[in-house]
């Protein structure tokens, strides 16, 4: 086609030259149109088509997205024509068939449910935290009680596909939440409201054991229980007032017992002091009596020795000594009267007759 167009322009040029030569005086020079460039239409059309095909493929890939990237803490549930595969996809890059296959991402990180009335409620977000109202239960007498607690759990990644297939993507509302409320009701229903605060640790252990057994015994173990924290036991106002009165009474009893114990200690102390004084007096008396006894025994022994030593010659000698003293006394007072004891033994007695007030005993 390019050759035909060139021939056409060449013929037109030749025809113009002939006319110019034949009528040179009157033509004033003929018009020569510009020569168009040569265009390879076939080659340019092929490149355009190839470019359109490549762009179309890229757009198709972007729209169809035949791959998926799964991050850590997540698992992929592959559905082929609406049927879930039994094995979940591990973290990494996975390719799939557009339109026919689809991947659902599920979170396998630890999730938390806070049961409380005093916190702001919100739906599950990227942090895996959900808030729900406190669990309302009845004690053994039918009094209403509210329990605030926190439950930690996570999806069992080994059976993630079976869990989603059996329970759906709202599996938490069907497995965790009902079990928590049921276990809490069963445990609290065994106690009286007044005894709940004092049995707090025991109640927390019973709730945790019940949740762990119930959740782990589910078919294919859909969830893995982590822990539960019993945060608050909200009692009715009347029960709180009753507990306060009981606590006050207990404190008064304890105070009275302390006073009794102190009085007993004081009494024991005084008794010990009195016993100590009594023992001291007794010891002193016994010591004094012992001293008197010892002294008496010593005097008796001395008298016995003296008595044993008094012979007739010794007594006669003592009488002579006394007679000598009387003689000396008579030299001073010749009016004195002397009384001699019978037998001539000592002592003798003399009386001064000059003065009735003066009397002397000579031994």
Is residue 33 domain-resident?
Answer: no
Is residue 28 domain-resident?
Answer: no
What does the pLDDT read at residue 212? 92
Is residue 76 domain-resident?
Answer: yes
Is residue 129 domain-resident?
Answer: yes
Is residue 107 a contact partner of residue 129, using CB atoms and an 8 Å limit?
no
What does the pLDDT read at residue 248? 79
- 288 and 216, same structural domain? no
- 230 and 116, same structural domain? yes
Compute φ and ψ for 232, nearest 5 degrees.
Answer: -155, 140
Q: Name residue 114's beta-bridge partners.
A: 131, 150
Rounded to 5 degrees, what angle do the CA atoms 67, 72, 73 make? 115
Is residue 54 domain-resident?
Answer: no
Residue that terminates a domain, selected from 185, 218, 235: 235
Rounded Cα gap, residues 82 and 101, in angstroms: 8
Is residue 65 a contact partner of residue 95, using CB atoms and an 8 Å limit?
no
- 192 and 141, same structural domain? yes
Average model confidence (pLDDT) across the chain: 77
- 147 and 260, same structural domain? no
Element (H, E) at 36: none
- 281 and 253, same structural domain? yes
Task: For residues 144-158, give the mean pLDDT.
Answer: 92
Strands 111-115 vs 129-132: parallel, antiparallel or unpaired = parallel
- 117 and 79, same structural domain? no
- 101 and 121, same structural domain? no
- 194 and 165, same structural domain? yes
Is the pLDDT at 198 greater than 60, yes or no? yes
Strands 349-351 vs 337-339: parallel, antiparallel or unpaired = antiparallel
- 245 and 229, same structural domain? no
Residue that terminates a domain, selected from 82, 107, 132: 107
Residue that terminates a domain, selected from 54, 88, 107: 107
Nearest alpha-carbon partner for 230 in 112, 114, 129: 114
Is residue 75 domain-resident?
Answer: yes
Question: Would the pTM of this model clear 0.75, i.e. be above it?
Answer: no
Domain that holds residue 145: 111-235
**Number of domains observed in the structure of the chain:** 4
Nearest alpha-carbon partner for 98 in 69, 57, 64, 59: 64
Q: For residue range 45-91, what is the model confidence (pLDDT) as tens digits?
A: 567 888 888 887 777 777 767 888 999 989 999 898 888 888 888 99
Rounded Cα gap, residues 176 and 360, in angstroms: 125
Rounded Cα gap, residues 100 and 6, in angstroms: 56
- 176 and 119, same structural domain? yes
Q: For residue range 306-322, what is the model confidence (pLDDT) as tens digits?
A: 777 767 776 677 777 77
The CATH number given to whatever domain includes residue 162 is 3.30.479.30
- 94 and 147, same structural domain? no
Higher pLDDT among residues 30 and 275, named by residue? 275
- 194 and 81, same structural domain? no
Is residue 349 domain-resident?
Answer: yes
Is residue 82 domain-resident?
Answer: yes
């Amino acid at each position: 086609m390019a050759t035909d167009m060139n021939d056409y322009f060449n013929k037109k040029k030749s025809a113009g030259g002939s006319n110019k030569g034949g009528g040179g005086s009157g033509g004033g020079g003929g018009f020569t149109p510009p020569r168009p460039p040569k265009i390879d239409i076939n080659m340019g059309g092929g490149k355009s088509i190839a470019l359109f095909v490549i762009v179309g493929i890229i757009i198709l890939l972007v729209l169809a997205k035949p791959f998926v990237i799964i991050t850590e803490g997540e698992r992929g549930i592959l559905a082929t024509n609406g049927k879930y595969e039994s094995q979940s996809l591990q973290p990494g890059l996975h390719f799939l068939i557009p339109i026919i296959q689809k991947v659902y991402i599920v979170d396998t990180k630890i999730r938390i449910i806070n049961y409380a009335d005093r916190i702001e409620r919100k739906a599950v977000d990227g942090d895996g935290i959900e808030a729900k109202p406190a669990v309302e239960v009845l004690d053994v007498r039918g009094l209403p009680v509210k329990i605030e607690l926190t439950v930690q759990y996570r999806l069992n990644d080994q059976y993630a596909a079976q869990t989603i297939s059996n329970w759906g993507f709202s599996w938490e509302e069907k497995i965790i939440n009902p079990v928590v409320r049921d276990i809490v009701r069963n445990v609290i229903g065994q106690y009286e409201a007044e005894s709940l605060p004092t049995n707090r640790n025991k109640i927390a252990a019973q709730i945790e054991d019940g949740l762990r057994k119930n959740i782990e015994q589910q078919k294919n173990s859909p969830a893995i229980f982590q822990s539960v924290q019993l945060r608050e036991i909200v009692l009715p106002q009347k029960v709180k007032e009753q507990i306060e009165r009981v606590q006050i009474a207990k404190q008064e009893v304890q105070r009275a017992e302390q006073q009794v114990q102190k009085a007993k200690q004081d009494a024991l102390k005084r008794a010990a002091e009195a016993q100590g004084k009594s023992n001291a007096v007794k010891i002193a008396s016994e010591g004094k009596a012992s001293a008197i006894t010892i002294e008496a025994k010593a005097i008796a022994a001395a008298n016995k020795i003296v008595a044993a030593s008094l012979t007739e010659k010794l007594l006669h000698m003592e009488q002579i000594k006394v007679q000598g003293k009387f003689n000396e006394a008579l030299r001073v007072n010749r009016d004195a009267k002397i009384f001699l004891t019978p037998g001539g033994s000592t002592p003798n007695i003399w009386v001064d007759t000059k003065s009735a007030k003066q009397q002397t005993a000579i031994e």
